[in-house]
Each structure stands twice: as structure tokens, then as C-alpha cells.
């Protein structure tokens, strides 16, 4: 049985497409290539890939449209591979649901590092916490030795009992988090707000997971870059490339996307609070 990881390459340029195919195949991937947006979408639907590389300039449609359409049915990791180096293009891609962004010309080692970095992103995150001994931990038993309880997170049933009303079916206490009606299940990777399902990208889910685990503690942008497994672009002999422009801006974009999906207001936050000059915490 072939258990190799699957990648779909959506790239208009035949030479670049061949380089991507060869590099990823050498890294052990089962590679499927498409030269147009429509054929790429069909491959993603048929192959259920672990990751997708996507060019922003395609012969039949805009790459951003392809990205948005993939996000309608798949949470696969998406790496943008494009000649567009402007920060505006980068932020627009992250806003549309991309997980990482790479500017051509392609360097095979960097490509492999970026794909491996995305696939290594933790699903059960362990980060420092604010300790409140009076409350029970809300994490799986196997992590309890290293995870302390968080003051701002309470099981849904605890809130209902305190109000004297029957509890709605809560998230499992061993794997779930609740904060002001925002609920997250780390096992099923589901997030809801007031019972309404939130459509989050993988990166957005992981970011929210980190913040919920930290509770009332502040998480810096630098910590988030590391915990999310974002690969920093290295300076080459010709100087710093476009990818080295403040990685904190990428975190800001993901935070902005989360706020929009939560209906949160940065000026009067209910869920996500910016700590100026430091990072982010739960409101």
C-alpha cells in the first residue's frame, strides 16, 4: 500500500512545474500536477492532498479565487509559490486562507523546508500557562503532567450549573476549551461560537488553540511564529528578500481573520485582545 504523503502542484509554468514535481517527489511525496486553476481544483477534490502548492497567476482564473474555492471544501495546507513579492499580495493570500508564502525563483531546499514545516505543525500544543490550582485542567489526561489549568477557561457544563439551567451537550472536558461562548475541540478540530460552527483554516485553528491554552497569559508574536511552525526566510547573498519583512505582520493578518470570523472588535474585544508592544491574549 502506498502511504506516501500527497501533494497537488498548481503551476502554469512548465519549467517551474517540473522543478516542483522533481523536488517534492525526491522528498517522498506522491505528486500530482495541474497547469490551470480548474484542473487543479479537480485534483484537490479527487486526491485529498496533504498539501497544495499554488501559483497566483494562472491562465484560466486568478490564484486567489482558486485558494478561496479550495478553502470551501478542504483544510489542506496551502503554500503559495509565486513571483509576486509585494507585501500586499502576501497579506491578501494569508487573508484568503494560505498557510505559507514563497517567492520565485524556487530554491529546492527552502521549498522542502517550508512544506515540512507546515506538516510538522503541532496539533496538541503545549505552551506555558497561568496556573490557578483551584480549577481542573481542560486537557487530555496524557498531557496533564505538563499542562496547568487556565483561569479564564471553564467547561460549558460548569457555567450552566452555576446559572441553575440544564447544560447543553458540552465539549468533552478532556479535550475541549470554552471562553465566553467560544468552544474548541482539539480532538475533532472543531470550533463553535454560540453553537455556530466556525470555518477556520488550519493555521487559524492552531492560533486559536494556542491562545485558549495560554488563557489570561500573553503570547508574543515571536512565540506564535515559532509555535505555528512558520519558516522564516533567510537572507541570501544579495541581501534580505521580501520574505524577511516583519513576520509579525503575518500573525496580525491571521489574528484579523479570526476576529472577523468571531465578529470581534479590536477596539472593544470580547475574545482576542492585543497587548500593545507585547502580543495577544484572551479578552
pLDDT digits (tens, 9 = 90+) for 183-227: 988 878 889 998 899 988 888 888 899 998 888 888 888 888 877
**What pLDDT does 73 receive?**
87
Report the range of poorest mean pLDDT among 23-37, 171-185, 203-217, 245-259.
171-185
Q: Does 33 have pLDDT greater than 80?
A: yes
User: pLDDT tens, 100-142?
Assistant: 999 999 999 999 998 988 887 644 443 333 333 333 333 333 3
CB-based contacts of 24-27 (< 8 A; 24+ apart in sequence): 24/53, 24/111, 24/112, 24/115, 27/112, 27/115, 27/116
Q: Model's pTM, two decimal places?
A: 0.53
Least confident of 8-17, 47-56, 113-122, 128-137: 128-137
Instruction: Give the start-to-end residue ranges of the domains of the chain.
Output: 6-119, 141-282
The architecture in CATH of the region 141-282 reads: Orthogonal Bundle (1.10)
Whether 244 and 232 have beta carbons less than 8 Å apart is answered as yes
Q: How confident is the model at residue 95 (pLDDT cuts 50, 70, 90)?
A: confident
Query: What pLDDT does residue 247 have?
Result: 63
Q: Which CATH number fits domain 6-119: 3.30.1360.70, 3.40.50.2300, 3.40.50.1860, 3.30.43.10?
A: 3.40.50.2300
Amino acid at each position: 500500500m502506498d502511504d506516501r504523503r500527497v501533494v497537488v502542484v498548481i503551476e502554469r509554468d512548465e519549467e517551474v512545474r517540473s522543478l516542483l514535481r522533481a523536488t517534492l517527489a525526491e522528498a517522498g511525496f506522491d505528486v500530482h500536477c495541474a497547469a490551470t486553476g480548474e484542473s487543479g481544483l479537480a485534483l484537490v477534490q479527487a486526491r485529498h492532498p496533504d498539501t497544495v502548492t499554488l501559483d497566483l497567476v494562472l491562465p484560466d482564473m486568478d490564484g486567489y479565487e482558486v485558494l478561496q474555492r479550495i478553502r470551501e471544501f478542504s483544510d489542506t495546507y496551502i503554500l503559495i509559490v509565486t513571483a509576486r513579492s509585494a507585501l500586499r499580495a502576501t497579506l491578501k493570500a494569508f487573508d484568503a486562507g494560505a498557510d505559507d508564502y514563497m517567492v520565485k525563483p524556487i530554491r529546492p531546499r527552502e521549498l522542502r523546508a517550508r512544506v515540512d514545516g507546515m506538516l510538522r505543525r503541532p496539533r496538541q500544543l503545549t505552551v506555558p500557562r497561568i496556573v490557578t490550582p483551584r480549577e481542573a485542567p481542560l486537557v487530555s489526561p496524557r498531557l496533564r503532567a505538563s499542562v496547568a489549568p487556565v483561569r479564564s477557561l471553564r467547561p460549558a457544563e460548569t457555567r450552566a450549573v452555576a446559572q441553575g439551567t440544564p447544560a447543553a451537550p458540552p465539549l468533552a472536558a478532556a479535550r475541549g476549551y470554552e471562553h465566553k461562548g467560544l468552544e474548541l475541540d482539539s480532538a475533532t478540530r472543531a470550533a463553535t461560537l454560540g453553537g455556530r460552527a466556525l470555518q477556520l483554516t488550519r493555521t487559524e485553528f492552531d492560533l486559536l488553540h494556542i491562545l485558549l491554552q495560554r488563557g489570561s497569559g500573553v503570547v508574543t508574536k515571536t512565540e506564535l511564529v515559532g509555535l505555528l511552525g512558520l519558516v522564516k526566510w533567510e537572507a541570501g547573498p544579495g541581501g534580505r528578500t521580501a520574505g524577511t519583512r516583519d513576520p509579525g505582520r503575518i500573525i496580525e493578518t491571521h489574528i484579523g481573520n479570526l476576529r472577523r470570523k468571531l465578529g470581534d472588535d479590536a477596539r472593544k474585544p470580547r475574545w482576542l485582545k492585543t497587548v500593545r508592544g507585547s502580543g495577544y491574549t484572551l479578552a
